[in-house]
Amino acid sequence: MASGYHIPASTAEHVIVRGNSRFIAAAGFAETVATAREFINARRRLYPDASHHVYAFRAGYGSSIQEGMSDDGEPSGTSGPPIMAVLRGSNLGDIVIVVTRYFGGTKLGTGGLVKAYGDAAKEILAVLPTKQKIEYSTFELTLSYAFYGTAAREIAAYDGEIVSENFAESITLTVSLPADKGNAFTSIIINRSNGAVIPIPGPKA
């Protein structure tokens, strides 16, 4: 199976009550910081009269991840960080969580807030549908007509897809395949063509 990471497959919402306060947790897909901001703003518009809209997000995954969080008026460190801690322990990427609070008249204290926001984050992740996201790499190959059949078979063998073809004096192919198979694919093409065809890496997607 190709390597990748898990992301939200859809948006989910879950409500918990602590000390008469309602905590409405929502989680969704956030591939970029801008996408995360859009999700956060949408939740604010949905519940404009709420006391707080606390959030944390992780856009991307691994070394390329961008994180952000906010206590949104709650005592510093009592809300955004507990949500972020749950996210970091989840092994999910491209995700944003917003916990909207309606204050119910009973103060929870710093410890109570940390637990409430942490619980809200844990419970929304428990019901959030996820799916695997696979990173793909593109390659450009310039090859002879005689080598086309061999190249096509190897592309299929490495779970690749021919994105575009240009037939002229030689054939130019743009190929997309799982990023973790890129090195092996490059090696086999060079080997099979006796060095005549060298896949040129393009951007990842």
Sorted by sequence, the CB contacts under 8 Å of residue 198 that are 6+ apart come out as 186, 189, 190
Of 2-6, 25-29, 53-57, 88-92, the one with minimum mean pLDDT is 2-6
Average pLDDT, the chain: 94
* pLDDT tier at 2, thresholds 50, 70, 90: very low
User: Once rounded to an integer, what is the mean pLDDT over residues 152-158?
Assistant: 95
Mean pLDDT of the 37-56 span:
97
- Nearest Cα neighbor of 5 from 38, 31, 37 is 31
CB 16 within 8 A of CB 122: no
Asked if the model's pLDDT at residue 205 lies above 90, the reply is no
How far apart are alpha carbons 9 and 96 in whole angstroms?
Answer: 12
Contact between residue 58 and residue 6 where contact means Cβ atoms under 8 Å apart: no
- The tens digit of pLDDT for each residue in 50-88 reads 999 999 999 988 778 999 999 999 999 999 999 999 999
The answer to whether 13 touches 25, Cβ cutoff 8 Å, is: yes
pLDDT at 66: 95
In this predicted structure, the answer to whether residue 27 has a pLDDT above a threshold of 80 is yes
**CA-based diameter of the chain, in Å?**
78
pLDDT for the residue numbered 180: 86
pLDDT at 163: 95
Of the CATH numbers 3.90.1150.10, 2.60.40.10, 3.50.50.60, 3.30.70.240, which one belongs to the domain with range 135-204? 3.30.70.240
Residues 6+ apart with CB under 8 A from 82: 114, 115, 117, 118, 121
1 falls in which pLDDT band (50, 70, 90)?
A: very low
pLDDT at residue 91, as a whole number: 87
Distance of CA 43 to the CA centre of its chain: 20
Alpha-carbon gap, residue 93 to 34, rounded angstroms:
15
pLDDT value of position 79: 97
Q: What is the pLDDT of residues 176-203, one digit of tens each?
A: 998 889 999 999 999 999 999 999 998 7
Buried-state track 123-141, b at ≥16 Cβ within 10 A, e below 16 = bbbeebebeebebbbbbbb
**Which pLDDT does position 40 carry in this prediction?**
98
Q: What is the CATH number of domain 4-133?
A: 3.30.230.30
Structural domain boundaries in the chain: 4-133, 135-204
User: What burial letters (b/e) apply to 147-168, b meaning 16+ CB within 10 Å?
Assistant: bbeebeebbeebebeeeeeeee
Q: What is the pLDDT of residue 3?
A: 59
